[in-house]
A and B are shown apart, each in its own frame.
Chain A
């Protein structure tokens, strides 16, 4: 099946620092999504990207859909303690029908005050 390689696996940063994480795939995806998951909760959608080259922001979060459609990155600027969690990229190859999302393994963000 399709696989997403997400990196880094974990990040230990100081409050106020910027964060960058990315996902790559050997397959083309037509939709890239970024989710955040906190312990005991379901994934929460942060940003959705639908078009190659698209750059979208949501507050301090910025994500881009790579030109090749095989990668995406998520940046978080000026991190704050509530940014702690696991960030997942997810892709969908809309070959028709309601295809499921393929998730990356997640980036665990830990912020030291």
Chain B
């Protein structure tokens, strides 16, 4: 069964460094999302991407975040200058339509 894949599974970075989290959505999907989950808390929406542009973003998704679909298969989330509070699980999700979301296994980001 096709699935969303994310790399790396765990990333440790120094505060202030840039990180890029990578995702390969399911191949025939058109809508792509990033969510985050701080340890022990609920899943929070960051951004959605459709037709090669951002469709919607939450108030969490400030200027230090950006997304890109550099080719036909990858979807990336860049955090320009990481802060301690950016430590969380980051989930990529995709779907054919906008109503549901199929999630990857996540990348655990630890900022030290």
CA distance A88 to B42 in the complex (A): 8
Decide: A103 and B56 in contact? CB cutoff 8 A: no
A97 & B105 in contact (Cβ 8 Å cutoff) = no
**Does the CB pair A101–B103 fall under 8 Å?**
no
Q: Which residues of B contact A43 (CB under 8 A)?
A: 43, 91, 103
Decide if B99 touches A48 in the complex (CB within 8 Å): yes
Contacts of A1 on B, CB cut-off 8 Å?
58-59
Q: How far is the CA of A90 from the CA of B33 in the complex (A)?
A: 14
B31 located at the interface, meaning its Cβ lies under 8 Å from any Cβ of chain A in the complex:
yes
* A24 CB–B CB distance under 8 Å: no
Q: Does B25 contact A (CB under 8 A)?
A: no
Question: Chain A CB within 10 Å — which of B41, B43, B102 has the most?
Answer: B43
> How would you classify the secondary structure of chain B's contact residues: helix, strand, loop or mixed?
strand
Interface residues in A58-113 (C-beta closer than 8 Å to B)? 88, 90, 92, 94, 97-106
Considering the complex, which residues of chain A in the window 24-75 have a beta carbon less than 8 Å from any beta carbon of chain B? Answer: 31, 33, 35, 40-45, 48, 50
The residue that A100 contacts in the complex, of B4, B33, B41, B105, with Cβ under 8 A, is B33
Q: Are A42 and B45 in contact (CB under 8 A)?
A: no
Q: Is the CB of A41 within 8 A of B105?
A: yes
With A97-B56, A99-B56: A105-B49 Cβ-Cβ less than 8 Å = no
Contact mask for chain B residues 37-48; partner A; CB cutoff 8 A; 1 contact, 0 none: 000011111111
Contact indicator A42/B106 (Cβ below 8 Å): yes
In the assembly, what is the distance between CA of A44 and CA of B4, in Å?
Answer: 11
**Given known A-B contacts A43-B91, A105-B41, A100 and B35 have beta carbons under 8 A apart:** yes
Whether A42 touches B91, Cβ cut-off 8 Å, given contacts A50-B99, A101-B101, A105-B41, is yes
Tell me which residues across on chain A come within 8 A of B99, comparing CB atoms.
31, 48, 50, 92, 94
Known: A105-B41, A105-B42, A106-B42. A42 touches B105 (CB 8 A): yes
Least CB distance, A37 to chain B, in whole angstroms: 8
Distance (Å) between the CB of B91 and the closest chain A CB?
5
| Beta-carbon contact of A33 and B48 below 8 Å | no
Closest 3 CB pairs of A and B: A100-B45, A42-B103, A98-B48
